[in-house]
Amino acid sequence: MAVSSPSQTAKIMLEAAVAGPFGMRPTHALKHFTLRERAMDHGVHIDDFPAALEYAIHQRWLEPLDGAFFRLTEAGFAAASSLTAVTQPPSPGERQATVPGAVTASSEGQLGVRPGNRI
């Protein structure tokens, strides 16, 4: 899937770094290769990665370090966490409830409600 917006691709890249086995937090660092692989695992096309990385650095979400490492900033964690809250599936054993309508987010940033969603 090629994502046209560097800002959206950057947020997906950050979400990929924060979610899963790496669980990045502010001040944690990842190598360029690992960051790229995690982003690609979350649907970022390899051709979209450089623009997303540049955007994340420009937004001060990531800080470049020596040796091709990038440090996650507080702002980057906040940007990733806002997306993770919408997209992260519940953990095993996490309490779930079926409600008449759950909030969902569209790619245009609009919120919607779908009856019967589990949250």
Q: What is the pLDDT of residue 116?
A: 53
Tens-place pLDDT, residues 45-83: 999 999 999 999 999 999 999 989 999 999 999 988 776
Q: What is the pLDDT of residue 3?
A: 45
Element (H, E) at 27: none
* Residue range 71-100: mean pLDDT, rounded: 63
Tell me the torsion sign for CA atoms 48, 75, 59, 108. Answer: positive
Tokens of 99: 């409600």
Higher pLDDT: 69 or 88? It is: 69
* Residue range 76-94: mean pLDDT, rounded: 62
pLDDT at 105 over 60: no
User: Any idea which residue has 């990038």 for tokens?
Assistant: 70
Residue 98, phi then psi, degrees to nearest 5: -90, 125
Annotate 29-49 with DSSP letters as a single string. Answer: EEEHHHHHHHHHHTT--TTTH
pLDDT at 5 over 80: yes
Q: What is the pLDDT of residue 77?
A: 92
Q: What is the pLDDT of residue 98?
A: 39
